[in-house]
Amino acid sequence: MTNFDWHADRAGLKDIRLLDRSPDAGEIDEVAVRQYRLGRVRSEMAKRGIAALILNDSVNIKDATGTRNMQVFTGRNAPARYLLLTEADAILYEFTGCMHLAGGFQTISEVRPSITASFVAAGPAIAEREVHWARDMASTLREKVGQAACVGVERFNAGAAGAIAQEGFRICDAQEPVEHARSIKSTEELKCIRASIKSTERAVANLRDAIKPSMTENELWSVLHQGVIAQGGDYVETRLLNAGERTNPWFQESSDSIIAPNALIALDTDVVGCYGYCCDFSRTFHAGPDKPSDAQKDLYRTAFEQVHHNIGILKPGMSFREYAEQAWSIPDKYFANRYYLSAHGTGMTGEYPYLYHRADFPDAGYDGVVKPNMTICVESFIGEEGRGEGVKLEEQCLVTETGIEVLSQFPFEETFLS
């Protein structure tokens, strides 16, 4: 441990249920949110000379148009619902029986029935279905952008991707323009993000209140889900809650394991919440009935130090490489089980950029610039390889013109820090 003063910033230790930071639904101009996001995608397309995008990632469709339909189902059954986006048109190909769902969205110029080119839909005729899908799409592309156009695609099954490539267009990856478009948030988007965080914090407060030894991890995790859905959230992307020695290493998903007395309980929210925006912060709690041990306190304080050091160095205009060079040095005994990222962007879900640890930057890192109106989550996991429990902490932050605003204000645990 260094001489980091974990008592210096205690603003987050107030009862989260007394906080009221987010706007009511009527205060958010959702039309402006949708139009801004669509304009951002088209601007990034134009920068790269991309005439059209074919999107079937359910989050990217929602980001570009505001429309939603069974996001988890359609996200894994591709192409069942997809969007053709050009400079002038946004044609939504909607799943069977769902044509009415996009009514009233100013971002959509036309809704057409989709051609579901998957094996479960087509069976032995899958190859023919994929060719049919590609020819139908190619016909519209030629009409809208011409034969020689550059077309960005994403996440299609191999046969469908191959079939569209055979139609003679210049094919590129849609990820770069979409990720860059999503990375810079508007004022109205930030209202949505604050609302999602606020509602998730309420759900986490309910989870914290429900903790008791003898319940299972799954029982406790379900409290978060109930609170999120009751407040209009979409879903939880992961199952990252675990207790006791299952906290280390990280990424062990919640199970029917019984929470033992005095165990650590670590969670990562990963909530796609109200307005479709992600709330992504992590906390670690103590099951009681006794106070945390000295070893548990040391883990928690070390993770707290890492998060707050890295928030302290983050600033607009900083390169990703500069961030890595200045980031907190992970002690050797915690290095093997470190979290795989130091920080990452977030919006509707986790997104560009990834900011890597100093030691990982040479092999995994890439450069770029931290920009105002990026929302970035700063991560820590502290646990020794092959030994005992671990602590997961994370804060969701906004990069402003002059510095960093911490958006997640759920309290840290006084019993670990005192």
Interval 71-119: pLDDT, tens: 888 888 878 899 999 999 999 999 999 999 999 999 999 999 999 988 9
The overall average pLDDT reported for the chain is 93
272: Cβ–Cβ under 8 A, 6 or more apart, which residues?
59, 71, 233, 234, 235, 236, 237, 278, 348, 349
Kindly state the DSSP code that residue 164 receives in the 8-state scheme. H
- In order of their start, the domains of the chain are 11-25+184-417 (3.90.230.10), 51-173 (3.40.350.10)
Select from 260, 254, 255 the least CA-distant residue to 213: 260
Structure tokens at 67: 């429309």
Predicted pLDDT at 402? 95
Instruction: Quote the CA–CA distance of 359 and 350 in Å, as a whole number.
Output: 22
Predicted pLDDT at 314? 98
Instruction: Quote the CA–CA distance of 218 and 207 in Å, as a whole number.
Output: 11
Given a contact cutoff of 8 angstroms between Cβ atoms, the answer to whether 262 and 287 are in contact is yes
pTM of the complete model: 0.92
Ranges under pLDDT 50 in the chain: 1-22
Residue 93: helix, strand or coil by DSSP?
A: strand
Predicted pLDDT at 23? 52
What is the tens place of the pLDDT at every residue in 262-272?
A: 999 999 999 99
Exposed, middle or buried, 29 (CB in 10 Å: 0-12/13-18/19+)?
Answer: middle
Asked if the peptide bond before residue 79 counts as cis, ω within 30 degrees of 0, the response is: yes
Q: What are phi and psi of 87, to 5 degrees?
A: -60, -30
Q: What are phi and psi of 290, to 5 degrees?
A: -85, 180
